[in-house]
Amino acid sequence: MADDPQRNFRSAYYEKVGFRGVEEKKSLEILLKDNPLDLEKISTFSQRFPLPSMYRIHVWKVLLGVLPPHSDSHTVVGGYRKQQYQDVLEALEVMRYIDSSTPSTHVYLRMDQLESQVLPRCSDTSPPDEENEAFLCISRSMEEIVDDPVDCYWLIKCFINQFHSKFGDSLPHLPKSLEHYLSQEEPRLLHHLRTSGALKQLPYSLWFSCCFAGCLPESSLQRVWDKVISGSCKILVFVALEILLSFKIILLGFSRPEGVVNFLRNIPQENTDAIVTKAIDLWHKYCGTLVHAV
């Protein structure tokens, strides 16, 4: 069917005046009125379109299982989540694992350890180590996105649990996947990273295990997490790819791997929205819009 010139004009006008995605927003509103919610349709929407910020946290809570598909149960379940949060928090205080000076991210970690039955003995308690760094990185970024501590805890917990249960087997393969797509987009840069010894030392843990928490500012990061939460960890590969492509000239100027790694661990924050937009375009280019995993 031929394109509708009037429709195209309206779309261009909406985008120009700041109402980009008006129709998509209405579609999401309709999906969120279903009872029960169709999680597959909501997930597909999030794969294809950017989530409106006003609905993002609610969609995350639904897709991560913090709230059930039956929307008429959300108030009751939300109350249970809050009470469970308070009970676990008070238990840790009574056992003297935490106090008023404990950083909130460490509180969330101890709460998750208690609920997962892996809380260390109090006599063995020491500051969280590298084993917990991904949890703490994700917690710090989630705190910047979510205001309510109860919602923040449950989103951290469910996000990390879902990520590892769905994509734990795929994580070791993401560096090779990045290498493959870089060979398609910029073989010269790939050759430089290999010959300089930097390829094996890229900050894969920061990019993939931490899902770019601590690397991207939250305004850009939440758009990446939209895709991860809706079912694709391969978006992480394309964000890493676009970072390499965006800073190609700078990276080609480093002769030692330390320079490459130090730069990539502290990339400039000014243009990260553009990087994420281009990364999503690459993801669509290579994977289509409905790919849910690596």
Extents of the domains making up the chain: 21-166, 168-294
Predicted confidence band at 229 (pLDDT cuts at 50, 70, 90)? very high
Number of residues assigned to the chain:
294
Class of the domain covering 168-294? mainly alpha
Rounded Cα distance between 226 and 244, Å, is 22
Predicted confidence band at 66 (pLDDT cuts at 50, 70, 90)? very high
The pTM for the full model equals 0.89
Residue 214: what pLDDT? 95
Please give the angle made by the CA atoms of 170, 50 and 223, to the nearest 5 degrees.
Answer: 50
Over its C-alpha atoms, the chain yields an Rg (Å, rounded) of 21
Residue 20: what pLDDT? 52
Question: Does residue 206 have a pLDDT over 70?
Answer: yes
Residue 213 forms beta bridges with which residues? 216
Token pair for 250: 């700078």
Question: Does residue 12 have a pLDDT over 50?
Answer: no
Higher-scoring residue by pLDDT: 163, 126: 163
Predicted confidence band at 123 (pLDDT cuts at 50, 70, 90)? low
Predicted confidence band at 188 (pLDDT cuts at 50, 70, 90)? very high
- Taking domain 21-166, whether its CATH number is 1.10.8.680 is answered by yes
Residue 3: what pLDDT? 44
Question: Does residue 11 have a pLDDT over 70?
Answer: no
Residue 42 to residues 161, 164, 257, 290, Cα–Cα distance (Å)? 20, 21, 42, 12
Residue 15: what pLDDT? 43
